[in-house]
A and B are shown apart, each in its own frame.
Chain A
């Protein structure tokens, strides 16, 4: 019969339409359907959700997974009291600049007063116009000094020079990193400590054999914040 398909399709739409409002009613006594963290979780978990699956951005925002990556930032120590600048973790080794696919990182290595290179960048720029958010810089940095940010709201009135982030704009203290990705930051910290400990220790033949993974694999996994 002609027209049945249309009726069926309309019925689906009507069902979704009414369910959305019924669901709103269901949530009315539990703090409402929108602007409510619990409801947001349910809305994003489609299996248990009946009504709308959308969120009201920007009033509501999706919780970001830890591995979410956006424009990188540089990690510094927490600034000592009375100062607004902590020690850079970056040693200007240049691995990030070498591995960067669109080549958007510029590093100028600092020099000591005696002319020797100083393991700290004098200047560090990222052209975020061409950064492709691949995360290689953070993945391959051996010092955990460059990390991918979670701050994705970078809209700007100036599309020229504000898009070149310099060292001042890029640097963020380690406490910020701990705040946005607590589990991974803790895993990295543990891995660093582990590496620090194993540095001085010599392995003897009497050492217990490693339980499951090869030593280097496990360290690498810890190191990358994978095992946590």
Chain B
């Protein structure tokens, strides 16, 4: 498809463009500190954000949301400041209308019995994030409707992200571990950490003595009082979907209360793949984290790398060479196409078109991941970006063809042909329409309140894209539109992904000349180093528009340290799931599968 036809297509789909505004935070802060004199700037050097007294956080949040327009609570982060004897909760709020950077609110509470008022009643998107903080840090959120563990199992003892908590067979606080070199004694990882013995149980705890009442423990909050059909005696049924269920895209469970076939309530249960990624990240040196971020959303590892290196580059103050930026955009946009191809293929799988469409869709994806393999060394676990650049330049040739020629063919012919082919066959397919239109609707206000991101947010009519709202890399120089649709149902999420692939192709076409003109230029700043120490401490938040939504990395570090002090991932799949219960209410059981498929989750990122 030619360029004109593409832009015409874009116009038909009512693509809305959002202009980049000047930073609205300064003005908001002025009004905020005037209204609440207790709110002060974070006194620690190199730390951003504003300190809010714990008892005022709800008023401040309401003011920030309603009066200042920072209505999007993107990320809630817990921190353990063990040196100061404090616990901290960090809120990143954004303005959907104005874009720009975050208004960061911080709450400090005592480390003994920390209690913070919950923001879930006003921002339902904080629900899972606050539960996660309770789970990992033990910060009690007063007023949270359903404060239970979310990632760990119910009988778990302790809160593992606290700095004084140590797992069984704890080795050392930071890598590299001294036992490895020199003269290290070799042991198998499994020997060191034997299966079945690597769990800490509460003192005197016997598994047999566990009185486990599923009604109160697991299905708490699931009791529904509703007289569905007056006069006819009906019973509600609680059904467990998953964790081993082909529709869940991994190991994910949903507890569904049904009235006949209609969903009354749905509660996601997760954590089966939990490996405490964040604590691993705090033990790792900065560079060791890059391959670990690949394992978050393993379908878009280039994007994960990008978010992480952006955050650390803020601490390091690196300047990325021009060619490296273009290569990064090339990789990330190719990754977006491959991710959406996968997501749409498996959405159709969930709709009942078993395997065949999915296989046709991943044939083109195959070319992209093979190109990743030739460039970065691995198809999915790319580990490609480095602080201040990328690891390798593009290969000179790919499968016997010069790389640029291959990219031309890929970007100008194969991918557009594949997108249009999908569009022709699927968009007006009556099954896709019947299963998609009106299913799992989420209004724009709800989508913002639930902190959803990415295609889920944009399908609900909110034109918010980090690439435009707070441009990173060279996105402000590129010409592309934000794909927006307004019905907020499964079908619109499908359409958003198709449109985003087209926009990615548009971006890729623009960067090809830059890749040609910068051939041979440096791809990394300075000499690659393995022992990186941050020159200044402080905190940094790097966020990128990943295919699944806004991926953010919140990193704090001490001055001259080689490890992050706190490493938090704002995982879009995880936070998008907060809205799953809302979307499924009132629909049939079979629709749950489709709705979940339309959110496009990856469990590696949900459970971390």
Contacts and interface: CB of A to CB of B under 8 A. Distances in A.
Given A5-B430, A44-B370, A134-B383, A98 B531 contact: yes
Interface in B166-200: 175-177, 180-186, 188-190
Interface in A123-150: 123, 125, 127, 129-130, 132-136, 139-140, 148
B391 A101 contact: no
Interface in B516-550: 520-524, 526-528, 530-531
A161 B520 contact: no
20 contacts: A44-B370, A53-B363, A53-B366, A63-B399, A69-B377, A92-B182, A99-B287, A101-B289, A105-B180, A106-B185, A107-B181, A107-B182, A107-B184, A127-B186, A135-B383, A136-B287, A139-B391, A140-B528, A213-B521, A221-B393
Contacts of B23: none
Contacts of B373: 65, 67-68
A98 B176 contact: yes
B292 interface: yes
Interface in A196-218: 212-214, 216-217
A102 B177 CA distance: 10
Contacts of A98: 176, 181, 530-531
Contacts of A22: none
B425 interface: yes
B240 interface: no
Contact of B188 (A3, A107, A129, A214): A129
B366 to A, nearest CB: 7
Contacts of B376: 67
Interface string A4-36: 111011001100100000000000000000000
B431 A6 contact: yes
Interface in B409-455: 409, 413-414, 425, 428-432
Interface residues of B, number: 66
Interface string B552-566: 000000000000000
B400 interface: yes
A226 B395 CA distance: 8
A148 B393 contact: no
Contacts of A175: none
B367 A103 contact: no
A45 B288 contact: no
A125 B353 CA distance: 48
B182 A67 contact: no
A224 B180 contact: no
Nearest to A48: B409
A130 B189 contact: yes
B530 A99 contact: yes
A46 B367 contact: yes
Contact of A9 (B425, B520, B523): B425
A140 B284 contact: no
A135 B377 contact: yes
Interface in A78-116: 92, 94-95, 97-109
Interface string B343-360: 000000000010011001
B272 to A, nearest CB: 21
A163 interface: yes
